[in-house]
């Protein structure tokens, strides 16, 4: 029996993926023997509706000086964060000499926009290698894990913040109460927390189960987020759906009573009720859809193999670790995974041990089929790779359903 990260009620998993490795734990062949595995299970809290993992990997095992995810590998995301920063400047940096803090600032993809405009900023990024890239771009970064204690130290050294930002990081933090308490301390009375994460509504709608892996400790809805922050005298004042990472939600949070909530908050909560995001049966149905998606993908890959087709993976994403290990995709079914990130190249994918090779190898010898693991960057990739389809290549996608394109 596990207890809820937010309200401490007992939760039971609705889905077990079995033993899973670290999603970003790309490894060399001599590291295979000592590879770390844990039980990846996801549960729903009947009381506060938070969807969450029931077991958590130690944060130091995931975030360290060889962290494999560099935010700036996607030009589309760089543009997205440029727009994110511009909207924060316009809406929330109205006081003189504003101060912006970002949690999980990675290689500086968001904060570079503030640094270039000479706005006081601070990145909090515990993975030393990506933090070093941000610093080399002139972005003020501290290499630590954010929590309540660190919030106090930041306030003592720099003062309170006008805006506290986070993208694809709040959902990584199982110690949500310490984070919320820290944010309350860190924000000026008029300050806002603006963060976005993959949205549980999209995961349910699109069966995008590959969002579920070690780093993603919880899967937020407006209802579950509201409940968390209310306990810290903070409230959700706006929500804005985002068309990135397969469907995300941006939340704007302020001190209770400091700002009038936008009607979008109540509208989205009503949609969540309609979608059944607060009901256990929704997640039972999600489990059945996930099992069907797995079976469809494996049938397709086995069929292609029996026809002697070459299939290669595109994008050694953290999400692909869930897909390959849960479905049982082996190097016999997928020759290699192409990826542009140098630190992943020449290594084996976590658990499934499919070789990760430089992107050039994909271009030099197009396979018959490419399994689009980086489906969240699908538009950008399919457009960029038009020559692959012109040469007769076909894409395999599995979100929202298993399908061959082209």
Partner residues linked to 342 by β-bridges: none
Contact 294, 210 (CB under 8 A): no
Q: Within its chain, how far is the Cα of 30 from the centroid?
A: 29
Q: Closest CB to Zn ion among 11 and 374?
A: 11
Give the residue, chosen from 41, 54, 74, 248, that forms a contact with ligand TMP under the rule CB under 6 A: 74
Question: Should residue 322 be labelled a site residue for ligand TMP when binding is judged by CB under 6 A?
Answer: no
Give the residue, chosen from 22, 42, 92, 125, that forms a contact with ligand SAH under the rule CB under 6 A: 125
Measured distance between the N- and C-terminal CA atoms of the chain, rounded to whole angstroms: 47
Q: Rounded to the nearest whole angstrom, what is the least distance from the CB of residue 125 to ligand SAH in the complex?
A: 6
Task: Supply the Cα-derived Rg of the chain in whole angstroms.
Answer: 21
Q: Closest CB to ligand SAH among 234 and 333?
A: 234
Question: Should residue 112 be labelled a site residue for ligand SAH when binding is judged by CB under 6 A?
Answer: no
Q: Which stretches of 310-368 are assigned E, i.e. beta strand?
A: 311-314, 337-339, 356-358
Neighbours of 205 (CB within 10 A): 14
How far is Cα 46 from Cα 21, in angstroms, rounded to an integer?
28
Question: Should residue 154 be labelled a site residue for Zn ion when binding is judged by CB under 5 A?
Answer: no
Question: Should residue 139 be labelled a site residue for ligand SAH when binding is judged by CB under 6 A?
Answer: no
Q: Which two tokens stand for residue 103?
A: 């949690």
Q: State which of positions 324-343 bind ligand SAH (CB under 6 A).
A: none
Judged by CB under 6 A, the stretch of 104-112, 203-211, 251-259, 304-312 that binds ligand SAH is: 104-112
Pick the closest to residue 70 from 13, 29, 24, 35 (CA basis): 24
Cis preceding-peptide flag for 400 (omega within 30 of 0): yes
- What, of ligand TMP, Zn ion, ligand SAH, none, does residue 67 touch, CB below 5 to 8 Å by kind? ligand SAH
- Nearest residue relative to ligand SAH (C-beta): 104
Q: Closest CB to ligand SAH among 26 and 336?
A: 26
Question: Should residue 376 be labelled a site residue for ligand TMP when binding is judged by CB under 6 A?
Answer: yes
Q: State which of positions 43-102 bind Zn ion (CB under 5 A).
A: 45, 47-48
Q: Rounded to the nearest whole angstrom, what is the least distance from the CB of residue 208 to Zn ion in the complex?
A: 23
Judged by CB under 6 A, the stretch of 36-44, 176-184, 303-311, 369-377 that binds ligand TMP is: 369-377
Partner residues linked to 165 by β-bridges: 102, 194
Q: Within its chain, how far is the Cα of 251 from the centroid?
A: 15
**Close Cβ partners of 112 (under 8 Å, ≥ 6 residues apart):** 134, 137, 139
Question: Should residue 106 be labelled a site residue for ligand SAH when binding is judged by CB under 6 A?
Answer: yes
Partner residues linked to 54 by β-bridges: none
Question: Should residue 389 be labelled a site residue for ligand TMP when binding is judged by CB under 6 A?
Answer: no
Q: Rounded to the nearest whole angstrom, what is the least distance from the CB of residue 181 to Zn ion in the complex?
A: 17
Q: Rounded to the nearest whole angstrom, what is the least distance from the CB of residue 196 to ligand TMP in the complex?
A: 14
How far is Cα 197 from Cα 208, in angstroms, rounded to an integer?
14
What residues make contact with ligand TMP under the rule CB under 6 A?
69, 73-74, 315-319, 339-341, 344, 359, 374, 376-377, 380-381
């Amino acid at each position: 029996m596990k207890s809820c990260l937010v309200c401490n009620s007992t939760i039971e998993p609705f889905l077990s993926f079995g033993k899973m490795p670290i999603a970003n734990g790309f490894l060399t062949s001599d590291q295979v023997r000592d590879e770390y595995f844990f039980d990846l299970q996801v549960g729903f809290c009947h009381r506060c509706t938070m969807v969450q993992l029931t077991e958590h990997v130690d944060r130091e095992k995931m975030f360290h000086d060889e962290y494999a995810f560099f935010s700036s590998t996607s030009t589309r995301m760089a543009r997205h964060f440029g727009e994110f920063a511009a909207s924060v400047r316009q809406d929330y940096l109205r006081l003189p000499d504003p101060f912006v803090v970002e949690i999980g600032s990675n290689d500086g993809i968001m904060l570079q926009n503030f640094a270039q405009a000479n706005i006081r900023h601070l990145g909090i990024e515990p993975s030393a290698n990506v933090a070093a890239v941000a610093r080399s771009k002139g972005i003020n970064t501290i290499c630590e894990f954010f929590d309540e204690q660190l919030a106090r130290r930041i306030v003592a050294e720099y003062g309170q913040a006008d805006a506290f930002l986070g993208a694809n990081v709040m959902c990584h933090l199982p110690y949500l109460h310490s984070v919320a308490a820290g944010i309350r301390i860190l924000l000026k009375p008029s300050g806002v927390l603006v963060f976005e994460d993959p949205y549980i509504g999209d995961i349910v709608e699109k069966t995008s189960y590959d969002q579920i892996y070690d780093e993603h400790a919880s899967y937020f809805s407006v209802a579950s987020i509201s409940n968390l922050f209310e306990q810290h005298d903070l409230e959700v004042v706006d929500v804005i759906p985002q068309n990135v990472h397969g469907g995300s939600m941006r939340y704007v949070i302020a001190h209770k009573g400091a700002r009038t909530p936008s009607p979008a908050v109540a509208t989205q909560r009503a949609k969540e009720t309609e979608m059944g995001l607060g009901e256990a049966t929704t997640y039972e149905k999600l489990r059945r859809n996930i099992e069907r998606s797995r079976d469809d993908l494996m049938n397709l890959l086995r069929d292609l193999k029996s026809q002697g087709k070459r299939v290669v993976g595109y994008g050694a994403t953290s999400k692909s670790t869930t897909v390959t290990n849960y479905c049982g995709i082996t190097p016999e079914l997928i020759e290699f995974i192409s990826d542009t990130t140098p630190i992943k190249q020449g290594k084996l994918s976590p658990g499934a041990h499919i070789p990760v090779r430089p992107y050039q190898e994909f271009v030099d010898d197009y396979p018959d089929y490419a399994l689009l693991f980086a489906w969240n960057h699908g538009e950008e990739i399919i457009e960029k790779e038009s020559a692959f389809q012109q040469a007769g290549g076909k894409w395999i996608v599995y979100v929202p359903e298993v399908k061959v394109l082209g």
